[in-house]
Amino acid sequence: MVLKTTTWAWLVWFTVTLFATYQFLIQMSFSVLQAPIKHDLGLSGGTVSLVAALYAITLGIMQIPVGLMLDRISSRRLITLASAALALGCALFGLAHTVPLVAAGWILAGIGSAFAFVSAAYLIRAWFPRRRFALVLGLTQGVSAVVGAGFGTVLVSDLLRRHSWNEILLIASGMGLLVVLLAATVIRQRPPMEELSGDHSPPKSKPRRSVFQSLDEVFDRPQILLVALFAGTTFGNLVGFGGLWNVTWEDAGWGHALPDAAELNAMLWIGFGIGAVVIGWFSDWIGRRQLVAFWGAMLALVANVFLVILPFHYAPWFLFAVIFVQGFAWGVSPLCYALVCENAPRRVHGIGMAIVNMVAFLFGSLLQLTPGVILGSVAEPSRLELRNALLPFVIISVLAVVISGLLIRETRCEPLLDESDWRSGIKSRASSFKP
């Protein structure tokens, strides 16, 4: 019995979402495990920040190769190998007792992780109608953030009471085998030809473009670069803050014990997961991208000021609420992938979305490193010292407001009209805009 395209589309969605969830779980585990890793290996705070940043740097650098491969090579093969690399890197990290092996394992995990979200976005665009892209992609971000980063952080914190960090990473490595198996059996590049219709129709056959032609076609579009910067100032902010410094801030700056700090950090990711779904649906519903991106960035800035700048000790319920709102507002970042698809022809969607992801994670890695550099050799920073070290997160939030408010163009959820000539497409679409 052959499954219908719609049924198989959701199987593909489940598989890529499971991969993204697994990637989030591995990535976020470091924020909880960093204290015992630092103690057992005798690392300084700066070295721990560097190890954490290695993952994000590797993930960011790999994005352009990932995008080029997705436009040219079987998605099934790529995702199977990538999930295997992530699991293997996690195992190597868990078995390591020296800094070089830890770094090697984390870099290998970063290479595998680089495929997770871009491949999910690429396959969702291939298997689902264009009008559902932001919503379905938001569901992927939502599930992976809530389950992988949210509940996963709490789970890792609970496991740490009974197991060593090495054992936890080895357990996580074993979980990756399920992702490898599903990817090898479920993933298809696109729906079967006889079931294609409407938005699913593949592009007309054209000679394969060179790597440099694809890159030139993307970099010749200023809007894609601006969208990538917006992704860096929103999702990159989330990766830097929620991926490393929020637990430290809650633990040292606010005086919460590590399990409580992990729960607060989980609330940030749960907020992001819910925000990604709600904001994606709302943007599709009202047919606006730039407007939604701007107000999401504004809300994120306000929450960031409450968390970092204002020198008040909040009641626990209010702190939970602010952290949730912060994550919810950063849920605006998945709109960047929809904006890329609406500003570029389909033949370069893979590389376009990869560039967005690259900038996001490079921003995240820099924001993970910067507070550690500001603190320097301070072993136990005061709340004021931590607040000053976290000011770059607020500055980046201001930049997100400027980019979304003044530089990103409204697409009204419509793609380029003429993919063979993007400039004429922009002119045709712009002429239909109301002032």
- Model confidence pLDDT, tens digit, residues 246-276: 666 666 655 555 556 667 777 888 898 899 8
261's tokens: 């700090």
Beta-carbon count within 10 A of 195 CB: 13
Contacts of 363 (CB under 8 A, 6+ apart): 231, 232, 233, 235, 236, 237, 239, 240, 396
Give the chain's end-to-end CA distance (angstroms, integer): 53
Nearest to 28 by CA among 273, 227, 230: 273
DSSP H or E run through 293: helix 290-304
DSSP H or E run through 423: helix 422-431
Provide the pLDDT for residue 250: 65
CA distance 255 to 91: 33
- Domains in the chain with CATH codes: 5-192+211-431 (1.20.1250.20)
User: Residue 57 in contact with residue 362, Cβ under 8 Å?
Assistant: yes
Interval 2-13 mean pLDDT: 75
Contacts of 220 (CB under 8 A, 6+ apart): none
415's tokens: 């793609």
The model carries a pTM of 0.75
pLDDT digits (tens, 9 = 90+) for 301-359: 999 898 888 766 777 788 889 889 999 999 999 899 889 888 888 777 778 888 888 88
Nearest to 43 by CA among 198, 165, 203: 165
CA distance 58 to 69: 16
368's tokens: 């993970």
Q: Which of 26-30, 101-105, 309-313, 318-322 has the lowest mean pLDDT?
A: 309-313
Confidence of residue 377 (pLDDT cuts 50, 70, 90): low
Confidence of residue 112 (pLDDT cuts 50, 70, 90): very high
For the residues of 13-62, what is the DSSP string, one character each? HHHHHHHHHHHHHHHHHHHHHHHHHHHHHT--HHHHHHHHHHHHHHHHHT
